A and B are shown apart, each in its own frame.
Chain A
Amino acid sequence: MEITSRALVAQRKKAYSRRGVYLWFIAPAVAVIFAVIVFPWIFTLWMSVNDWRIGSEIKFIGLENFATLATNTRFLSTIPRTLYFTVLAVILPVILGVFAAEVFHQNFPLRGLLRGIYVAPMMATPVAIALVFTMMFHPQVGVLNFLLSLVGIPKQLWVYSADTVIPTLALVEVWQWTPLVMLIVLGGLASLPTEPYESAVIDGANQWQMFRYITFPLILPFLMIAIIIRTIDALKSFDIIYVISQGGPGTASETINIYLYLQAFSFLQIGHASAVVVVFFTIILALAIILLVARERLRWNR
């Protein structure tokens, strides 16, 4: 015993003395992280405290950009709008995705082929999808209004009305990303033990009870992963909104990202845009922390 621990101490000391050498091994990783993560961040922070418009002098203005944002009603209104879009683009795919996973978990003919078809939207390029949907939403020549007219439903304005633009855009997100939730949940379902179900059947539980009291709690950890991934994706969603509505009509679908893009690339206000980035990052970070804490709390194996 004594000998072992002494040997251990000696070994540790030796390792400690060689630490300086080992440190060099992490140098490349540190350099890369500094170049691609730390430096851009510091640079963004620096830009956010400057009045910087491409083509004009750069002037240090402290926190003025943030102060302007705090009172800018247009920017402030993008926050609830972004959250509204995010909630729709997370909840609907989660509900539909769980349902789809339950369906695809059953045995039926051609299941493999149908699963493949079901996940196809996920593989398409968002911009291409957005262009196709733009044509489908077109008020005069769009196929959606034509289809509605076949069943006697009046023409809808889709993305051409301030009231329906966000749900319509969320619809495109739902169409594209429900398969992702389905895949994650399906993986979870496949890993579940069969014994609880057998006992449940013996106890006379019906399908809903088995889902509610066995399946749902067991797939919850997988669902949380799906929710976290979807939330981050929906928050930063840009391409679909930009291509289909460009934030319009008016500012009805102007999310934080669209506002940010306008400031940076249309108005060339780099300083102001960087301040938006900092605020946006803080929001995302806060949400991520909340979701991670929620996930920890929900761990069933604790």
Chain B
Amino acid sequence: MSKKLTRREFLKRSAILGTGVASAAILNACAPTPEPTKAPAPTAVPPAPTTAPAAPTTAPAAPVTVAPTAAPKAAFDWKRFKGEKIEALLIKNTQGDIMVKHLKEFEELTGITVGADQPAEQQQRQKLAVEFASGQTSFDVVYYSFHVQKRLFGKNKWVADVRDYLNDPTMVAPDWDWNDFSAAGKAWSTEPDGRIDAVSNKIDYCIVYCNKELFAAKNVPLPKTYDDIVSAAQKLHDPSKNIYGFVGRGLKNANTMLWCWMLLGWDIDVIDSKLNLNTTSPEAIECAKMYQNLMKNYAPPGVGGFNWNESQSAFALGQAAMWMDGVGFAAPLEDPKSSKVVGKVAYVVMPKGPKAQWAGMTGDGMGVSAFSKKKGPAWYFCMWAASKAMLARSFAAGSGAQSRNSVYTDPDALKSLVVPKEWVDTVVASGKIGRAALPIIVPVTEFRDIFGVALNNMIGGADAATELKKATDEFKPILAKSEA
């Protein structure tokens, strides 16, 4: 019998073979992908500063009166919720990395199992809003930014009031000490009606990073006032040698932060507590002109597209004499692998403006979802995440200023600090003049976006007053609607 393959036979075999290959491919595609390595151990060098984009608050730290955790004699027990399982929605940042790295410690301490998720900041914020709005959350405890989400969460009561826990000795570890938190930290997590929505973990202050070598070469003193900043930028600016006087955020949205930080030097809030927009005031225009002058005349070309990361690399490469941004960038600047300015950075407290000296601040913390059915264990997680030991770890990693006062004197943290002591002094000094830079409103993102476009246009040469007027007109109805 001839073995000749008929056409029909050939097609049949091909079909079988094809199906086999296809199913293998499908099976392969469906196969569980290897668990993404849960947050790589936070290296000593935090990759990125936390509060990249920043946002607002009006209220200059109102003192908070919360009954301090009373007599620790009551039976507080870390094991009270043994066997429970909670979900924590964190962010991919240094704080999140440190929490994930030490998660075992929490699980052993409490017997609570934690599922931790760390999406990128922007995605996490979207996820939060959508889940909270739906009235059901897949997480019990959440890490969020006060300067962006405080008003949105507070207005909708999406996070649980933790005062009941703070006042209950059986729910607070005896050595936890609420009063160790700085006034600014407490103010951040407190709502106007007295509710406490979260435990503050981190505060970020605006500082000016100066390249000491460049300043010394031309014998220019480090800036103490806004005028000093402008004149130093002018003197040190030398594009022919690839040296620029100043660098900062020019990218729409991110740049609004810089303008708001600077505006505090005129001693006004961009939007006051009665929701009046000060955005077309003479001070706001003056400040925008200063921003325009620095960014248009003394910054590297293309600065209009710079966020903090481009600014950071310009400064780290020694191409910028000054960089104004959050305090959390010291670690990468002092890392020889990513920086050419190791040991040459002066961490300068935000200089005095025409009317006042304030260090604009932003802050993050952890809250318990109001929709969680496991609020107790979730609260335990918040407590642990903001414990002295945990915040000392974040501090040692150089990730920024912490909400607890005690970390600054913690000998272990100071010993393992990856950044110079001078940075700590700047953080402490900034803490004394900290003031929320962005308004505490719901449409923070629109605010930053609309004014960000205006500021970006100014870098391109547009008139400051006209741009601010246009942006204000555009934003006013949005703000009014959000509070209606």
Which residues of A line the B interface, CB within 8 A? Answer: 51, 53-56, 74, 138-141, 155, 157-162, 165, 245-251, 262, 265-268
Contacts and interface: CB of A to CB of B under 8 A. Distances in A.
Interface pairs A-B: 4 shortest CB-CB: A160-B302, A160-B305, A249-B304, A250-B456
Nearest to A162: B460
A267 B133 contact: no
B250 interface: yes
Contact of B317 (A74, A140, A157, A250): A140
Contacts, number: 89
B301 A139 contact: yes
Nearest to A245: B305
A161 B304 contact: yes
A167 to B, nearest CB: 15
Interface in B135-187: 152, 155-156
25 contacts: A53-B482, A54-B129, A55-B132, A55-B442, A74-B453, A139-B301, A140-B300, A140-B317, A141-B317, A157-B302, A158-B302, A160-B303, A160-B305, A160-B306, A160-B310, A161-B302, A161-B305, A248-B456, A249-B460, A250-B453, A250-B460, A251-B453, A262-B449, A266-B126, A267-B443
A267 B130 contact: no
Given A141-B313, A248-B304, A266 B132 contact: no
Interface string B435-465: 0000000110110010001001101100000
Given A55-B152, A55-B155, A162-B460, A138 B305 contact: no
Interface of B: 122, 126, 129-130, 132-133, 152, 155-156, 250-252, 300-306, 310, 313-314, 317, 319, 442-443, 445-446, 449, 453, 456-457, 459-460, 481-482
Contacts of B459: 249
B304 A162 contact: yes
Given A139-B314, A250-B304, A265-B126, 10 more contacts: A56-B482, A140-B317, A160-B302, A161-B301, A161-B305, A165-B305, A247-B252, A249-B456, A267-B445, A267-B446
Nearest to B313: A140
Contacts of B130: 54
A161 B306 CA distance: 10
Contact of A160 (B301, B442, B445): B301
B251 A138 contact: no
A153 to B, nearest CB: 15
Nearest to A250: B456
A141 B318 CA distance: 12
B250 A249 contact: yes
Given A162-B460, A265-B126, A157 B251 contact: no
B452 to A, nearest CB: 8
Contacts of A268: 129, 133
A161 B305 CA distance: 7
A251 B445 contact: no
Contacts of B126: 265-266
Contacts of A160: 301-306, 310
Nearest to B132: A55
A34 B303 CA distance: 49
Contacts of B319: 140
Contacts of A159: 305
Contact of A54 (B133, B301, B302, B303): B133
A158 B152 CA distance: 37
Contacts of B482: 53, 56
Nearest to B443: A267
Nearest to A57: B484
Given A55-B152, A246-B251, A250-B252, A157 B129 contact: no
B310 A138 contact: yes
Contact of A138 (B252, B313, B446): B313
Nearest to B315: A140
A245 B300 CA distance: 18
Given A56-B482, A139-B300, A267-B446, A248 B305 contact: yes
A196 B80 CA distance: 87
Nearest to A72: B474
B443 A249 contact: no
Given A140-B319, A249-B305, A250-B252, A55 B133 contact: yes
A249 B252 contact: yes
B156 A55 contact: yes
Q: Which of B122, B303, B304, B445 has the most A CB atoms < 10 Å from its CB?
A: B304
A246 B304 CA distance: 12
Contacts of A267: 443, 445-446, 449
B13 to A, nearest CB: 25
Nearest to B123: A265
A250 B130 CA distance: 27
Given A54-B133, A155-B301, A157-B301, A249 B445 contact: no
Nearest to A54: B133
Contacts of A251: 252, 453
Given A53-B482, A55-B129, A268-B129, A139 B449 contact: no
A56 B478 CA distance: 13
A54 B133 CA distance: 6
Contacts of B304: 160-162, 248-250
Contacts of A165: 305
Contacts of B155: 55
Contacts of A56: 482
Q: Which of A157, A159, A160, A249 has the most B CB atoms < 10 Å from its CB?
A: A249
